[in-house]
Amino acid sequence: MALWQIGPISDMRLTWGTIRGGTPHECPYCHISLLTGETPGFCCGPNGSRLHDVPPLPPLPPEYNTFINSPDISSLSRVLNLIFSFAALETTHNFPNIPNGPAFVSIQGRVYHRIRPNHYNSAVRWLLHDGFIQDLPPFLSWAAIIPLPWRNALQNALISVNPFVFQLRQLSAISPSIPSAHLILRDTGTTAEIAAIMSYENTTQQQTRSRRLTISKTNGQNVSIPTTSRMWEPLAYPLFFPHATLGWGLHESDPTGVGNSNNHQLGDGTTQIWHYRARLLREDRFSILGRLANEYLVDMFSRNLESRLDYIINFESNKKMQP
């Protein structure tokens, strides 16, 4: 009986941006380094057709220099974001418990985000009721592993450039004798950041438009963020979006249901996948804050599936209503 012998298997030599003839292997349009064998198109569309669909994010605030170059920032990025996140990541099923598994993010069930003004582990409560005091951060046991200068730096950065944080601090300073005071978060499609408007009328979340969010200091009602809201990303990931830059989604005056990027001047629509692809490939912060980027990927992939299912359900419902 003949025996088969397996010969040596050559190593895969895949590299990024291989230089040949003095020219790096990269996309000629967006200049992203390409892996061996890759061709332009995946990064910014055929002939760079998607290059300008998603505008670049504002530069990171100078306060980030305190931690952005630390060798530990990637592994601690999820915890740092968790402390300051204004929207809690929740699922309809328990998070899977994988003992001794690799450090990745795993979820099951439907995923959603909620603003919880009165929850003890909420950054919104930290601002509204605790005055952003460093001794009282959310997730106190987790916060203890983050160097205090890092927490101070991110806090100062958000106070400096985040309009949502500014308005929350204004709401916090209002006297309890004005219980009707609340914030209305809007996305009219005319600004690149979250628009937070102070209101003194007796308005509930049910009385506002479906794509607006209401935050009150007194009633503490939890507020769910719609899957197609452009506020999903800046509220959940302030470490990525300190300026509260709006993400992918539908604004109040968008009748198309197509969705767009956060550039109201261009007004170009783009799909979720192209939006996330542009963020991940062109913004250095996503590679620097690697552990948080893993969570962002899982969250956005789940969000994409949820949006597709909602579209199918709404499409079928509308079709049945037609004569």
* Cut 0.85: pTM above it: no
Q: Give the model's pLDDT for residue 76.
A: 95
Which residue, among 244, 231, 133, has the nearest Cα to 187 in the 3D structure? 231
pLDDT value for 107: 67
State whether 93 and 128 are in the same domain. Answer: yes
What's residue 290's pLDDT? Answer: 92
Of 285, 283, 289, 64, which is closest to residue 154 (Cα–Cα)? 64
Q: Give the range of the structural domain holding residue 22, as residue numbers without chain letter.
A: 16-52
Burial class (CB in 10 A: 0-12, 13-18, 19+), 104: exposed
Any domain includes 267: no
Residues 129 and 22 placed together within one structural domain of the fold: no
Q: Residues with Cβ < 8 Å from 205, sequence gap 6 or more?
A: 213, 214, 221, 223
3 occurs within a structural domain: no
Is there a single domain that holds both residue 209 and residue 306?
A: yes
Residues 40 and 120 in one domain: no
Query: 132 and 174 in one domain?
Result: yes
Residue 9: inside a domain:
no
Residues 156, 227 within the same domain: yes
Task: Calculate Rg over the CA atoms of the chain.
Answer: 22
Instruction: Note whether 77 and 37 are same-domain residues.
Output: no
* Residue 176, beta-bridge partner list: none
Q: Are 9 and 20 in contact (CB under 8 A)?
A: no
**By the 8 A CB rule, do 290 and 236 touch?**
no
pLDDT for residue 198: 65
Q: Is the C-alpha dihedral spanning 187, 190, 191, 192 positive or negative?
A: positive
- Which DSSP state fits 207? G
Residues 40 and 142 in one domain: no
Q: How many CA atoms lie within 13 A of 194 on its CB side?
A: 33
Residue 149 tokens read as 């200068």
Number of domains in the chain: 2
215, part of any domain: yes
Query: Tens place of pLDDT for every residue, the chain, 323 residues?
Result: 667 777 777 666 788 888 888 889 999 999 998 888 888 888 889 999 998 888 999 999 999 999 999 999 999 999 999 999 998 877 776 767 766 655 556 667 677 778 887 788 888 888 887 888 888 888 889 999 999 999 999 999 999 999 889 888 888 877 676 666 777 777 766 678 877 776 666 554 444 444 567 776 666 677 888 888 888 899 999 999 999 999 998 765 554 444 444 433 333 467 888 999 999 999 999 999 999 999 999 889 888 888 888 778 776 666 555 65
CA distance 182 to 67: 34
Given this model, what pLDDT does residue 323 score? Answer: 57
